[in-house]
Amino acid sequence: MVTDHAPRPTTRRPALPASLTPALLARLTGRISAAADAERVTTSAPYTGVPLADLPVSTPADVRDAYTRARAAQTSWAALPSGERKRILLRFHDLVLLRQDEALDLMQAENGKTRRDAFLEVTDIAITARYYARNAARYLSPRRRRGAIPVLTHTTELRHPKGVVTVISPWNYPLSMAAGDALPALMAGNAVVQKPDTQTALTALWALDLMHEAGLPDGVWQMVVGRGSSIGDTLMDNADYMMFTGSTASGRKIARDAGRRLIGASLELGGKNPMLVLADADVEKAAAGAVAACFPSAGQLCVSVERLYVAESVHDAFVAAFTARTARLKLGAAYDYGIDVGSLTTPAQLKTVSAHVEDAVAKGATVLAGGRARPDLGPLFYEPTILADVTPDMTLYDQETFGPVVSVHPVHDVEEAIARANATPYGLNASVWSRDGARARSLAARVRAGTVNVNEAFAAAWGSIDAPMGGMGDSGLGRRHGADGILKYTEPQTVAHQRLQGFTPPARMAPETWAALLTRALKILKAAGVR
C-alpha cells in the first residue's frame, strides 16, 4: 500500500455553525407533517458525530393527512395564473442566493460535504428555479396540433397537473435532490408530498421554508419524515405520480409498486460511471478532470466516476499526474472554502467503502493513493483512493461503491475503452477526454449513458438544464431537467374539434366513392410532403 500519497490532515473538528440556532432548527422541524406527540429521531453531524437535530417522525396516518391537505390546496394552486407561480419561484431563486450561507451550513452539517460541494447545490437550485420559472409556460400552454383532416379538425394538446406528486429524495445532494425535483412539479400546478432522507431533512425543510417566504400557499408542499419501511407504502398508495431518487434496489421496488397502482414513476438510480482518457487527451487536464470527477462530495454523487479507462500510450503519465493531484487534496472538516474533500455521510457508507477497498486489496488490487479511513479527522472520513489491478472478481469492479474510490484500467484502443465502459447494467453518466472534440462527441454517442461529458466530469451535462438528465438501464427510468423534467408531471389531453365534414361519408355519397375520395386525398397529402 502506497501511503506517502495520503492526503494531509488540515483541520481540527469544528463545532456546529452558529447559524444553526435552536430557533432555526425549531422552525424547520415544525414544518414536518407529524403529530405533536410524535416519536423523535436524532440525527448526528458526520464531521464529528455530535447530535444535530431532533426530528418528529411521521406515521402512516400523518402521511395520509399530508395528502389530504395537499389535495385540498392543489386545486387553487393549479388555478393560479402561471405568472403567479413564476413570481414565487423567482423570489425563491433570489432568497436562495441571499441566504446561501444558512443552506451551506446546513448541508455541511447534515451531509459532511465541503463548502465548495455544497455551493454547487446552491447554484444548481438557482438555475433550476430560474429555468422552470421562465420556461414552464412554454412547455405547459395549450398547443395547437395538426388535426386529423387539414383545416376541418381543430386539435389542441392540453397539459393538466397530475395532482399530488410524491418526491422521495436521498441524502447525498440534500438541496439539489429535494428541491430540484419538487420545483418543476409545483410549477406544473401539482401539490407535492416529499420524504427527504431523515439524515438531511433539515436542508429539504429549509427549501420548503424559503418557498413559503417566497409566497407559496399553505399545504401545497408537504414534508414527511420516516423510514421507507414504515411510510413507504402510504406514500405510494396516495401518489398520483412518483419521483424517486435513490438506489437501484429501492427503485425496483418503487417501480413494481407504481406498476401495481398504474401510476407514472421517474426513477433516478445508481451508477458505475466510466471516464475514458483517449490517446490524444491532454494528460494534465484529464488528471485534473479525474479529480473533479471522482471525489466531489467524497464520491457520494450519483454521476461521479468510479472507473477510469486510459489509453496505454498515456496511461503511466496520466496515473502519475492523477495520483500526484490526489495526494495534494486537503481532506478535512471546516465550514469554509479551504477544504477539497469532506467526510462520508453515514456509518453505513463508511462500512461499504471500507469493505469494497478491503475486498479489492485482498484479491490483489494495488493502492496507488489513499486506501484507508481517517478517524483522526472525524468518524466518517475516508481518503480519496485510486486502485490499479482491479479484476472482475472484486466487488468494486462493477458494483457502485458510492465513495471516493476509483479503479484505473489501461486499454489498448478506443474500441476496448467503449466496450468496457458499456459492460455494466448501469448507464447514468460518462466522461470522455480527447483533444479532438468532434471525434470525442461522436464516440460519446456510443457510450451507453444518459449523459456523456466531453473534457468535463459531469457538470457540463448536469448544468445543461435545458437538456434531459437521467439514466439508461439499471440507472433509471425517466428524466429530470428540460422539457421531460416538467412534462412528466402532467397528464396530456387532446381536444379535437371536428368542423363541417367528419369521417363518415356525406349524405347520399356511396361508401365506395367516399373510400376512393379519401384514397386520393391521402396520396395528395403524401405527394405534397405533409408530415
- 240 is a site residue for ligand NAD (CB under 6 A): no
Instruction: Give least dist CB 231 to ligand NAD, A.
Output: 7
Instruction: Give least dist CB 523 to ligand NAD, A.
Output: 49
Closer by beta carbon to ligand NAD, 202 or else 281: 202
Tell me which of 56, 264, 270, 371 binds ligand NAD, using CB under 6 A: 270
In three-state secondary structure terms, 402 is coil
Q: Looking at the DSSP assignment, which residues form a beta bridge with residue 424? A: none
Residues that bind ligand NAD (rule: CB under 6 A) add up to a total of: 26
- 268 is a site residue for ligand NAD (CB under 6 A): yes
Closer by beta carbon to ligand NAD, 57 or else 368: 57
From 123-131, 246-254, 314-322, 438-446, span contacting ligand NAD (CB under 6 A): 246-254
Q: Distance between CA atoms of 339 and 311, rounded to whole angstroms?
A: 31
Tell me which of 136, 202, 205, 269 binds ligand NAD, using CB under 6 A: 269
Q: For residue 352, give the H/E element and its range.
A: helix 347-362
Asked if 164 contacts 238 with a C-beta cutoff of 8 angstroms, the reply is yes
Closer by beta carbon to ligand NAD, 100 or else 304: 304
- Residue 139 C-alpha cell reads as 412547455
- 62 is a site residue for ligand NAD (CB under 6 A): no
Instruction: Give least dist CB 386 to ligand NAD, A.
Output: 20
Q: Residue 362: how many CB atoms within 10 A of its CB?
A: 9
- 131: which residues sit within 8 A by CB, 6+ positions away? 465, 466
Residue 531, exposed/middle/buried by CB under 10 A (0-12, 13-18, 19+)? Answer: exposed
Q: Which of 121, 268, 383, 400 is catalytic?
A: 268
Helices 176-187 and 115-140 cross at an angle (nearest 10°) of 10
Tell me which of 56, 427, 476, 482 binds ligand NAD, using CB under 6 A: 476
How many angstroms from the chain centroid is the CA of residue 170?
9
Tell me which of 250, 273, 345, 453 binds ligand NAD, using CB under 6 A: 250
Closer by beta carbon to ligand NAD, 243 or else 329: 243
Tell me which of 247, 354, 422, 455 binds ligand NAD, using CB under 6 A: 247
- Residue 179 C-alpha cell reads as 428541491
Closer by beta carbon to ligand NAD, 253 or else 439: 253
Closer by beta carbon to ligand NAD, 223 or else 386: 223
- 405 is a site residue for ligand NAD (CB under 6 A): no
Q: Distance between CA atoms of 58 and 223, rounded to whole angstroms?
A: 9
In three-state secondary structure terms, 4 is coil
Asked if 271 contacts 429 with a C-beta cutoff of 8 angstroms, the reply is yes
Closer by beta carbon to ligand NAD, 170 or else 473: 170
Q: What is the DSSP letter of 72?
A: H
Interacting positions 127-156 with ligand NAD (CB under 6 A): none
Q: Which amino acid is at 108?
A: Q
Interacting positions 414-443 with ligand NAD (CB under 6 A): 428
Tell me which of 139, 402, 433, 489 binds ligand NAD, using CB under 6 A: 402
Closer by beta carbon to ligand NAD, 267 or else 386: 267
Interacting positions 87-126 with ligand NAD (CB under 6 A): none
Q: Residue 262: how many CB atoms within 10 A of its CB?
A: 6
Is 268 labeled as catalytic in the residue annotation? Answer: yes
Q: Distance between CA atoms of 420 and 277, rounded to whole angstroms?
A: 13
Interacting positions 160-189 with ligand NAD (CB under 6 A): 168, 170-173, 177
- 55 is a site residue for ligand NAD (CB under 6 A): no
Cα dihedral value 51, 55, 60, 66, nearest 10: -150
Q: Which of 102, 302, 383, 400 is catalytic?
A: 302
Beta strands in 377-465 (DSSP E): 385-388, 405-411, 429-433, 451-454
Beta strands in 260-390 (DSSP E): 264-268, 273-277, 305-311, 330-331, 366-369, 385-388
Helices 60-79 and 228-238 cross at an angle (nearest 10°) of 40
From 91-99, 137-145, 243-251, 507-515, span contacting ligand NAD (CB under 6 A): 243-251
Instruction: Give least dist CB 60 to ligand NAD, A.
Output: 12
User: Would you tell me which residues interact with ligand NAD (CB under 6 A)?
Assistant: 168, 170-173, 177, 195, 197, 228, 232, 235, 245-247, 250, 253, 268-271, 302, 400, 402, 428, 471, 476
Residues serving a catalytic function are: 268, 302
